[in-house]
Chain A
Amino acid sequence: MNSHRRQAIERGAGGAPLCAVADVRDFAPPRRRSIARRKATDLVVKGFSWIGASVGIAVMAFIVWEVVVRGAAALNVAFFTQPTPMDVTTNAGGFANAILGTIVITGVAALIAIPMGFMGGVYLAEFGRNGRIATGVRMIANVVMGVPSIIVGVFAFATIVKPVHHYSGFAGSVALAFIMLPVMARTTEDILNLVPNELRESGLAMGAPRWKVTLGVVCKAARGGLITGASLAIVRVAGETAPLLFTVLSSPYWMTGLFGPGGFFGGPVANLTKTIYDFSSSPYPHWQELAWAGALVIIIAVLGMNILVRLIFQRGKK
């Protein structure tokens, strides 16, 4: 089986065996239809295709447009320097504490999930391969990627928040790490599979130990892809709200350090997505404006990073 084909299948593609297609009746339709009618049907379907794609792109553009227009109106320097306001009558204040919180929570999640996910991917690509256990692990990783993020939030609540009886930024990091882990592992595996086997063989033929070949040769060759995969995994969880709802909660204050009621491990931590949720569902127009500014920041960060990473990676491929 050639590797290109195998990757296409493992990415989630599939097809019926050829025999299903080779049914003679399909090529000799028993009903005779006029050529004009067949061409008309064809045209209608093509029309729907164009309309469908236009609708998809229009929705995408519409969302970005709404967020940019509404967000830009409320965005100013204070947004990045002031903590969230408690006064509802003015539009003073910003989301600086929430931005810091999101960066820290996502960063810690990345510190947990990226090394583990990377090694998990190395296992799948270099050791487990097509063995029974690795196949099972791969399947479970695919399934976990489809588990709703709110369920992961419930899990983090039950394992971290409940035993210690308080919310914490760390609980949110664990939830986000849980979401990142299978994404990181599967991306790493796919990318390592792209590295030609000759590279591994030549490394081993030089007498280098396996770990040196994997880390120093295979991963070095796949460096660009690995960085892309890790960045996309981080970006993916940075915009998550549901896993933070009852793990991190939110807070109108700055995070005060690591421990204690205002610290990363000790209590609720301000974060961007939950703050946007609270402010946008509040009845106060000033708070809603701030929420739109927050939405703009997050969409710039998430979409911008996404596009940037893809562009860099594509240029690297050529």
Chain B
Amino acid sequence: MDEEILTEEALILNDIRSHLTTFEKERGNLIPILQMIQEKHAYIPREAIKLVAEYLEIPVCEVYGVATFYNQFRFHPPGKYPIKVCLGTACHVRSGDIILENFERKLEIKEGETTPDREFSIERVACVGCCALAPVAIVGETVHGHMAPSKVEGLLLRIRIEKEKQEREKLTISGNN
């Protein structure tokens, strides 16, 4: 597993390197560059911090300081199905924290962590602006509104079934070939 991550990281770093040059070497571009990395790769690898510092010719500790300051940046690869539980005020009033607890209990990880099989990760987010649907959980890009403790298990089950279905389809397709 570790080795897999390492080779993966090497590829990511090459990709980052090739995209860095599209940015001018200005300090003001530090956050946009980190955002580019986060967006393309869903996390910022350790070595990327150094890469960015070298590119912008600023101390690496300052890049690290900036990257850790903002909520947007992650330093570990997320799960295939990143779960974000909204804990905005409207969601809290409607017990978003209890939804989060239920996800944590079901997946046996804490927020900010990824399951050992790298399938799921849980994150808490500040208001996503869907207060009308509170409480809200977001899996991947899909917003699930009006969550309730009783719906957590069903949601996870649905994802697992969906995944299994896809895999079977893949098998069938490759079987047909």
Q: Are chains A and B native binding partners rather than an unrelated pairing? A: no
